[in-house]
Structure 1
Amino acid sequence: MKREISVRGKTALYGVLSVLCIPFVFPTWWMVTSSFKPVNDIFAFPPSLLPTSPRLDAYRTVFELQPFAQQYWNSLYIAVVVTIGTLAVSTMAGYAFARIRFRGANVLFVVILTGLLIPSEVTIVPLFQLFLKLGLTDTHWPLIIVPILGAPGVLATFIMRQFFITLPRDLEEAARVDGLGHPGTFWRIALPLARPALGAVAIFTFLHSWNLYLEPVVFLSTPEKFTLPQALTQYVDAYGGPMWNVQLAAASLTTLPVLAVFVFAQRQFVEGLATTGLKG
């Protein structure tokens, strides 16, 4: 009897969750299916959930109007480099703030956290002037350096610090008995245990870099160097109106890496959020 009630309860729960997920899934479903429709069918009433006569013309047009493959590669490699760089900086900085006691550590940490309070629109002009003097405009360097040392890097440092604080001090004391200093303890003990937090930071950082729009618009002017968010705005007709099926096809291709990251790292993401507390 209890087993039957449990099965019914799970079935009811899954049913409710399926209904609740419709508002979140439907926009993605509409985007993908509409990319296979002619423009006239996209806004037809009543709307159709499936294309009546699927076409791949929009996907071919995506690559014909712009160097979309190059732009896709630009976004992908920039997001990977930014993620790796942010992980490297935030793990070391987070461990230092969590485990190494030095004068002014708390004050310095608060000063760094203020970086989260400054909108990117406020700093974009000084950053542009700086990179212009360095001769780095219309290159990908600003899109790599700014996220690593800016607000995304600060958020990653905060998450890693909070995680390292939760680690038992017995582990650190045992490492000292074995003759390990702070570097050895970090590489051999703390970092391997930080996989959940690293997964959460990696997802946050990758998505932020992948969706970055303001900085590419400011720093890049050559179409071959564009990233995907900037490239999506270029699919317009002769009158400046949006080419809906082409834009939806490009947007559908843009979501593939994001879905892949969530599928392969969702467990680490959930564990990272669950184990990274606010102790401190």
Structure 2
Amino acid sequence: MKTDLSPRMKVALYGLMCILLIPFVFPTWWMVTSSVKPISDIFAFPPDIIPRQFDFSTYSQVFELQPFARQYWNSAYIAALVTLGTMIVSSMAGYAFARIKFPFSNAIFMVVLLGLLIPSEVTIVPLFQMFLSWGMINTHWPLILVPVFGAPSVFATFVMRQFFISLPVELEEAARVDGLGRFKIFWTIALPLAKPALGAVAIFTFLHSWNLYLEPIVFLSSTQMFTLPQALTQFTDAYGGAMWNIQLAAATMTALPVLVVFIIAQKQFVEGLAHTGLKG
């Protein structure tokens, strides 16, 4: 039964939500505002909510000290390819586990899920040896292939499987009566209905690839090949000290596009994850 809150309760509820929002919003606000502060003002206590001085030259210095535009492009196209590849692999694998009956399908799916329990630190050395033997060190291939066929794709496969299980079987039975084959049913019926799950997979896969740090520092050595998380650690002075305002300016340019994308697509993200628990 739906009940309407009184105006006083609404004010109290919104006030509580604003208070709870502070720990999440303040770090981002501090990062953005500190990127235009002099270094001496960044660690002032209590911190200045609004900068006393604005120095926007830090944003131009980001591109002067590092090939930041190239590094930005590296992260963007790698994340796009990883997202597309993961969506393709996970949707086909998830549909196969959900709809195609083959021997030991449940046992194989459980073995696949075990990949989520293996930390990336455990596999990074053998992966390095493998890509070294293939001549792919200091290239972007490891950053594309490992996520598409690694743990991120395993979780995406789980999400897609749970979504396809929730779809009515009658839809496929009707299509089969009309003479459609398995792949045609997947492509024309199941996949278009899976847009919420695909949206969720796309968002968390893009975020994972965008924020990837361990693999780039292992596989990449050239500044021109760096991705953004690795590039953010390179803004140091002649003595190795961090150039905080310039580093925060680079971090702001790195984080804000992701925040915008998530805010725009958060509805699809929530809907996609909500459908993963309807049936098991």
Q: TM-score, normalised by structure 2?
A: 0.96
Give distance in 2, aligned partners of 1:17 and 1:32.
Answer: 22
Give distance in 1, aligned partners of 2:178 and 2:207.
Answer: 40
| 1:216-236 deviation digits (Å, cap 9, x = unpaired) | 000000001100000000111
Q: How far did residue 11 of structure 1 move? A: 3.1
- The residue that corresponds to 2:26 in the other structure is 26
Say which SS state the counterpart of residue 48 (structure 2) adopts: coil
Q: How far did residue 69 of structure 1 move? A: 0.5
Give distance in 1, aligned partners of 2:239 and 2:233.
Answer: 14
Amino acid at match of 2:64: E
Q: How far did residue 10 of structure 1 move? A: 3.0
Q: How far did residue 259 of structure 1 move? A: 1.2
- The residue that corresponds to 1:126 in the other structure is 126
| 1:50-88 deviation digits (Å, cap 9, x = unpaired) | 111111121111111100000001001100110000000
Bigger mean CA offset, 258-267 vs 82-91: 258-267
Give distance in 2, aligned partners of 1:173 and 1:16.
Answer: 50
Equivalent positions of 1:129-278 (< 5 A) are 129-277=129-277
Q: Which runs of 5+ in 2 are unaligned?
A: none
Bigger mean CA offset, 54-63 vs 137-146: 54-63
8 A contact 2:166–2:278 mirrored in 1: no
Identical-residue share of aligned pairs (%): 71
| 1:137-172 deviation digits (Å, cap 9, x = unpaired) | 100000000000000010000110011011111111
Bigger mean CA offset, 38-47 vs 93-102: 38-47
Amino acid at match of 1:204: F
Amino acid at match of 1:103: P
Q: How far did residue 278 of structure 1 move? A: 6.0
| 1:77-119 deviation digits (Å, cap 9, x = unpaired) | 1001100000000000000000000112112111111111111
Aligned: 1:38 with 2:34 = no
- The residue that corresponds to 1:101 in the other structure is 101
Give distance in 2, aligned partners of 1:114 and 1:90.
Answer: 16
| 1:20-43 deviation digits (Å, cap 9, x = unpaired) | 100100000000000000000111
Amino acid at match of 1:238: A
Amino acid at match of 1:128: F
Bigger mean CA offset, 102-111 vs 87-96: 102-111
Amino acid at match of 1:37: K
Q: How far did residue 5 of structure 1 move? A: 4.8
- The residue that corresponds to 2:73 in the other structure is 73
Give distance in 1, aligned partners of 2:147 and 2:36.
Answer: 35
Provide closer, same or farther for how the CA distance between residues 5 and 120 of structure 1 changes in structure 2, counting only shifts above 3 A. closer
Q: How far did residue 274 of structure 1 move? A: 1.3
Say which SS state the counterpart of residue 241 (structure 1) adopts: coil
Q: TM-score, normalised by structure 1?
A: 0.96
Q: Which runs of 5+ in 1 are unaligned?
A: none
Amino acid at match of 1:70: R
Bigger mean CA offset, 149-158 vs 183-192: 183-192
RMSD over aligned Cα, in angstroms?
1.5
| 1:224-274 deviation digits (Å, cap 9, x = unpaired) | 110000000011111211111011101000012211221221110011121
**How many residue pairs get matched?**
279
